[in-house]
């Protein structure tokens, strides 16, 4: 997927990594946009992943986090005609706010919205802006 993105956007630097152990120096980034990044991480690893994002953000840096609302985990064995084994975790906003605060973020804003009908999976979504203290 990263190779395809590089081919389509040769002027943009793409880097693939593990949210639990980023190959980045402390306080290297000013902001992070993590859209639907936590939905494939086991719940027990969400706090360590957010702590790692906090580590690489500068003081005052912002994190924009998007995820599906709910409490369920949906498992898929087939997606777009391909064999897969994927879990999609849904979260309550209060749950993610708690993880963010424990990881060292101040929650600045929480926005919820309905899905775009006919385009997206039919679940409500949340966007949370956190700031590194």
CA distances 26 to 18, 52, 54, 58, 106, Å, are: 15, 9, 9, 8, 19
**Distance between CA 64 and CA 35 in Å, rounded?**
7
Q: pTM for the complete prediction? A: 0.89
pLDDT at 6: 83
- Residue 13 has a pLDDT of 83
For residue range 44-89, list pLDDT tens digits in order: 999 999 999 999 999 999 999 999 999 999 999 998 899 999 999 9
Of 29 and 7, the one with more pLDDT: 29
The pLDDT-based confidence of 12 (bands split at 50, 70, 90) is: confident
Percent of the chain with pLDDT over 70: 99
Alpha-carbon distance of 48 to 60, in angstroms, equals: 20
Q: For residue range 108-123, what is the model confidence (pLDDT) as tens digits?
A: 999 999 999 999 999 9
Tokens of 69: 């609302």
């Amino acid at each position: 997927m990263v190779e395809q993105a590089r081919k389509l956007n040769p002027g943009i630097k793409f880097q693939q990594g593990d949210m639990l152990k980023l190959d980045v120096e402390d306080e290297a980034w000013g902001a992070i946009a993590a859209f639907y990044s936590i939905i494939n991480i086991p719940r027990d690893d969400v706090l360590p992943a957010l702590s790692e994002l906090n580590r690489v953000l500068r003081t005052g840096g912002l994190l924009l986090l998007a995820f599906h609302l709910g409490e369920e985990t949906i498992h898929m064995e087939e997606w777009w005609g391909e064999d897969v084994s994927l879990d999609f975790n849904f979260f309550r906003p209060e749950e993610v706010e708690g993880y963010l605060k424990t990881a060292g973020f101040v929650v600045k804003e929480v926005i919820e919205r309905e899905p775009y009908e006919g385009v997206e999976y039919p679940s409500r979504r949340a966007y949370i802006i956190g700031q590194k203290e």
